[in-house]
A and B are shown apart, each in its own frame.
Chain A
Amino acid sequence: MITLGVVMLLLVVYQLFWTNIESNRKAHQIESQLREKWALPPTKGPKIPGDAVGIMYIQRLGKTWEKPVVEGVDLDDLAKGVGHFMETAEPGEVGNFAVAAHRATHGEPFANLNAIQPGDKVIVETRTDWYTYTVDKMPGASADHPAWKLVDPNFGAVVLPVPEKPGVIATKKLLTLVTCNPRWGHTTRLIVYGHMTKDVKKTPGANFSDLDYFNGKKG
């Protein structure tokens, strides 16, 4: 009985601390590998789940909040950072760049996504560009959380090229952020929409400091 209790306690330690340590270590490793890859000429190839496509920055979630964006939203992919729904648009493309991340455990990138506000910036760095997406006011959302709403777990329309409008051809560059809700449950999904407002090309020698966003100014 005591053994079982100790094992349960260790499971809690594993979930609350160990998965975060492991995921954060993986995330750092993936980011540095990605930056090394960017320094080399690009290679053509098919999309592979788990491959890093970019780095995401959201200052609302923390001054130093940055996570790799990897292809796919399986648990293996999400353990590395933010997962990109592979069938949706790439960063900076016309269509919907839709991503999901854990709300709790495994690095919990979107733990505080409920704090997001309309007008907040989501930066996605790729090999060639820094894309700035601006969080939209959520139509019909309640006044105490104007940027997000909760939907049913099987409401897949949020990742359509134009969210919630099946069959409509995309003309804008949109963003969807998805995570689970409540934080330690999975009865609903928390959804945030945004659209691209700025595209800064990475010229040779370009740096973070070229983006107003990283100088404390609102990009």
Chain B
Amino acid sequence: MYGFIWRHLPGPLAVRILLSMLLLLLALYLLFNQFFPWLDPKLPFNQVGPEGGATP
């Protein structure tokens, strides 16, 4: 997968490195701001209230 992305990035080496860094940052951003917050309520240590869930 990474080889495929690397081969399809345009430009000289410096530009490729820059672009792959940007892609990496984008992936991290999506993980921390979209995917993990979505996953969060589904994890077992997040229910604190009585009556079976976070909401009483």
- Is residue B32 contacting chain A, with contact meaning CB distance below 8 A? yes
Task: Please name all residues of chain B whose beta carbon is closer than 8 Å to the beta carbon of A178 when the two chains form the complex.
Answer: 48-50
Partner of A75, one of B39, B40, B44: B40
Kindly report which residue of chain B lies nearest to residue A2, judged by CB atoms. Answer: B2
Q: Hey, which bits of chain B sit against chain A, CB under 8 A?
A: 1, 28, 31-32, 36, 39-41, 43-56
Q: How many inter-chain contacts with C-beta < 8 Å in the A-B complex?
A: 85
Task: Please name all residues of chain A whose beta carbon is closer than 8 Å to the beta carbon of B48 when the two chains form the complex.
Answer: 73, 78, 100-103, 110, 178-180, 186, 189
Q: Is the interface of B mostly helix, strand, loop or mixed?
A: loop
**In the complex, are the beta carbons of B49 and A15 less than 8 A apart?**
no
**In the complex, are the beta carbons of A18 and B32 less than 8 A apart?**
yes
**In the complex, are the beta carbons of A11 and B1 less than 8 A apart?**
no
- Is residue A3 contacting chain B, with contact meaning CB distance below 8 A? yes
Task: Please name all residues of chain B whose beta carbon is closer than 8 Å to the beta carbon of A159 when the two chains form the complex.
Answer: 50, 56
Partner of B56, one of A11, A73, A105: A73
Cα–Cα distance between A100 and B55 once the two chains are bound (Å): 10
A154-B52 CB under 8 A given contacts A3-B1, A11-B36: yes
Rounded to whole Å, the gap between the CB of B30 and the closest CB of chain A is 11
Kindly report which residue of chain B lies nearest to residue A182, judged by CB atoms. Answer: B45
Task: Please name all residues of chain B whose beta carbon is closer than 8 Å to the beta carbon of A14 when the two chains form the complex.
Answer: 31-32, 36
From 45 to 92 in chain A, residues with beta carbon under 8 angstroms from any chain B beta carbon are: 73-75, 78, 83, 85, 87
Task: Please name all residues of chain B whose beta carbon is closer than 8 Å to the beta carbon of A158 when the two chains form the complex.
Answer: 50
Task: Please name all residues of chain B whose beta carbon is closer than 8 Å to the beta carbon of A101 when the two chains form the complex.
Answer: 48
Rounded to whole Å, the gap between the CB of B27 and the closest CB of chain A is 9
